[in-house]
Amino acid sequence: MQRGDVLGLRVLAELRAEAAHCQDDGWIFEGVDGALTVGPNFVHRAGNELFWKSNKHIPQWAAEHIDLILPNSANDFSRVGISVDM
């Protein structure tokens, strides 16, 4: 990673075309000492994308249309809930 790069890459163990994509909000960063660290949106990303959307026990339609809302920088770390696409 280069300094200032805020792209995160999510790759699921299951090989699907939609399983890897770039995020523009970044949640893993390289520090000045070269060590990787997680950003403030890590809990939201890990819960929503890595746990909820890739959980094999969740029906595919639910994973595609329901999002977990966890504290993150977009909601000023002030909300918890779900979002449903109709």
* pLDDT of 11 over the 60 cut: no
Tokens (6 digits) for 33: 């000492």
Q: What's the chain's Rg over C-alpha atoms?
A: 14
Q: What is the pLDDT of residues 47-64, one digit of tens each?
A: 888 889 888 899 999 999
pLDDT > 90 fraction of the chain, expressed in percent and rounded: 30
The DSSP symbol for 50 reads: I
The span from the CA of 30 to the CA of 4, in Å, is 8
> Which residues of 1-86 form beta strands (DSSP E)?
8-11, 20-23, 28-30, 36-38, 66-69, 81-84
* Cα four-point dihedral sign 14, 16, 20, 21: negative
pLDDT at 59: 93
The whole-model pTM stands at 0.59
pLDDT band for 79, please (50, 70, 90 cuts): very high
